[in-house]
C-alpha cells in the first residue's frame, strides 16, 4: 500500500496512511515523513500497534531523546514518558503550551501514542505558530521582532499540585534547580524551513523582558489569544492506537481535560531540539 499524506486544514495537520510504524522506517520513508512534518507540523497515523521500544526507536530517528524532569517514565523504557490521569494531575496540559519551553534547548518534537482513552472526550488540539505569525499585522511584527521573553518551569508545576509529599517536593525542587528560568526570542525562526513563529505560550512564558509588568501582560495576552485562533489550529479525536508526531518548535497544543473521572493514558517520546533563535 503506497504512503499517503492527506492534509486536514490549510494551516496545520495531515493524516499519513500506508505505513506501519511498528516496522523500522527505511531512509526514503523517513525522509518523506520528515518532509511532511516540516510542511504540516503535526502528523497523525491511525491504528498503529506499536510497543514502547518501537515508539522510542521511531522518535530517535528525529534526534536524541529527552527525559522529563517531573513526569514519570516507563520502568522498561526510560525515554517513554507516562501521561496517566491515575498517576498525575495533568491539568497543566489543559492549556496552550509548547513542551518544555523552559529548557535552554526545547524539544524538536514528540511522538505521542494513545494507550487508554475515555469513551468520549480527551481530544488534543494543535495550533500553528507560523500561520499565526504570518497573520499578524506588519506593525505588530515589527514591535515583537526584537523582543525576548522568560520561560519558567514553575509556572505550570506549582508545589500545591506537584509537591504533595516529601519525595514529590524534592523532585520538583531538583527540577527547578536543574531548569532555572530561561530567555527565548518572542519570534522564533525554524532552523530548517526558515519560517518565523510566535514563541510565547501560556504554559511557561511569564513575562516579556524589559517591559513593565502591565505592558508585558497586555502584549502576552494579545499573542496568547491570537496564536490559538481556530483558523490556525486542528483538533484530533483520538482512537486507540493513534500516533501523533508534531514539530514542537513551531506549534502549541492543548489536551482537553473534559473526561474526568474516566482514565486517559498517553505515552510520549520527546526529541531534544536546539536553542531558539
113 CB-contact burial (10 Å; exposed 0-12 / middle 13-18 / buried 19+):
buried
The catalytic residues are: 97, 99, 253, 268
- Give the contacts of 141 (CB within 8 A, at least 6 positions apart): 133, 187
**Cell 518534537 sits on residue:** 109
Alpha-carbon distance 267 to 87, whole Å? 13
Amino acid at each position: 500500500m503506497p504512503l499517503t499524506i492527506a492534509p486536514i486544514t490549510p494551516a496545520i495537520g495531515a493524516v499519513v496512511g500506508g505505513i506501519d510504524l511498528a516496522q523500522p522506517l527505511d531512509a526514503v520513508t523517513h525522509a518523506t515523513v520528515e518532509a511532511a512534518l516540516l510542511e504540516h507540523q503535526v502528523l497523525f497515523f491511525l491504528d498503529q500497534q506499536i510497543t514502547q521500544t518501537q515508539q522510542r526507536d521511531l522518535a530517535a530517528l528525529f534526534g536524541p531523546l529527552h527525559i522529563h524532569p517531573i513526569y514519570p517514565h516507563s520502568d522498561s523504557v526510560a525515554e517513554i514518558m507516562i501521561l496517566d490521569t491515575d498517576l498525575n494531575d495533568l491539568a497543566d496540559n489543559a492549556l496552550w503550551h509548547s513542551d518544555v519551553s523552559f529548557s535552554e534547548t526545547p524539544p524538536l518534537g514528540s511522538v505521542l501514542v494513545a494507550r487508554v482513552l475515555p469513551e468520549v472526550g480527551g481530544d488534543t488540539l494543535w495550533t500553528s505558530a507560523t500561520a499565526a505569525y504570518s497573520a499578524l499585522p506588519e506593525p505588530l511584527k515589527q514591535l515583537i521582532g526584537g523582543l525576548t521573553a522568560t520561560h519558567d518551569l514553575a509556572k505550570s508545576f506549582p508545589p500545591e499540585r506537584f509537591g504533595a509529599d516529601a519525595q514529590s517536593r524534592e523532585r520538583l525542587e531538583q527540577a527547578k534547580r536543574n531548569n532555572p528560568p530561561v530567555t527565548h526570542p518572542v519570534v522564533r525562526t525554524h532552523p530548517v524551513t526558515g519560517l518565523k513563529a510566535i514563541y510565547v505560550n501560556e504554559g511557561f512564558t511569564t513575562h516579556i523582558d524589559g517591559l513593565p509588568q502591565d505592558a508585558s501582560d497586555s502584549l502576552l495576552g494579545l499573542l496568547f489569544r491570537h496564536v490559538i485562533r481556530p483558523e490556525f489550529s486542528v483538533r484530533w479525536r483520538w482512537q486507540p492506537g493513534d500516533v501523533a508526531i508534531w514539530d514542537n518548535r513551531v506549534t502549541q497544543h492543548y489536551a482537553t481535560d473534559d473526561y474526568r473521572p474516566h482514565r486517559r493514558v498517553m505515552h510520549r517520546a520527546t526529541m531534544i531540539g536546539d536553542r531558539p533563535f
